[in-house]
Each structure stands twice: as structure tokens, then as C-alpha cells.
Amino acid sequence: MPHVFEYALLRAVPRQDRGEALNIGVLVHCKAFDYLGCRTHVDDTRLRALDPAIDLAVLAEMLGGLTSVCAGSAGPVTRIPPGQRFRWLTAPRSTLVQTSPTHTGLTDDPEAELERMFRALVLITPANTPRLDPVD
């Protein structure tokens, strides 16, 4: 029987004035499985196309902190239950790393759901890149 899960995308927003963002991760929470997971990937080339001056070290540090909190291995916030940590992780706090609105779905396997969404929404590969046909 499928269970409800929640997810949010992690987005890098290198320049607030331009309003451009790049998906760099996914957070998934499923209360029924007591599950909280996160996967991240930063495409340096695509981010530098949005802002050549972006400080990738600062971005990596921020993502490291978020993934440590998600895994329950950093700071006092990790002592709270996974659902509350998910809410803490998705609360607005940064101009460089932002989260999408929270969405829901149904799953029997939250880890597999995290992997599926990570591949579809964060990784850009020839297999999942939309084809843009020229207009006649």
C-alpha cells in the first residue's frame, strides 16, 4: 500500500537580481517509513553560465550543512524527528540556496522515489533533456 511522502527541490540562486535558479538537490520525507533523505549535485558549468563570479566553495559548504542535518549527523537540530527536520530544512533562510514549495506524492519506497526525482529533476543527461525543435 503506497504511503504519502513530501519532497522539495534545492535550488541554487546565484544572482537574486536576475531571478534565475538551478536545481541542485532533492529532499524527501516519508513519515510512514520515518525516512528523510537528500541527494545533491552541483553542475559547476551551468552555474557559472548564470553567474561567472559564483562562490562555489560557499555553495558546497551550505550544501554540506544541509545534507549533514538531513542525515542526522550535525548540530542540535538533528535531535528532532525527521518530519520536523524536513520542515526546518525547507524553511527560507538563504539567498543562495532556496527550496521549492513542498509537494506530495505516494510511494512504497521513499529511497527509490528520491533517486527517481534526483535523476529526473536535478541531473541533466541526454536521456532526460527536453528536445527543443526549431520553429518553422
The 10s digit of each residue's pLDDT in 88-98 is 999 988 889 99
pLDDT at 114: 96
Query: How far is Cα 72 from Cα 35, in angstroms, rounded to an integer?
Result: 11
End-to-end CA distance of the chain: 48
pLDDT at 136: 47
Q: Which grid cell sits at 48? A: 557559472
Chain-centroid distance of CA 89 in Å reads: 10
pTM of the full structure: 0.86
Query: Which residues in the chain come in under a pLDDT of 70?
Result: 125-136
Query: How far is Cα 37 from Cα 43, in angstroms, rounded to an integer?
Result: 20
pLDDT at 127: 56
The strand pairing partners of 97, in sequence order, are 12
pLDDT at 72: 83
Query: How far is Cα 132 from Cα 73, in angstroms, rounded to an integer?
Result: 43
Q: What are phi and psi of 25, to 5 degrees?
A: 180, 170
pLDDT at 130: 54
Burial class (CB in 10 A: 0-12, 13-18, 19+), 23: buried
Q: Are 54 and 45 in contact (CB under 8 A)?
A: no
DSSP string across 54-65: --HHHHHHHHHH
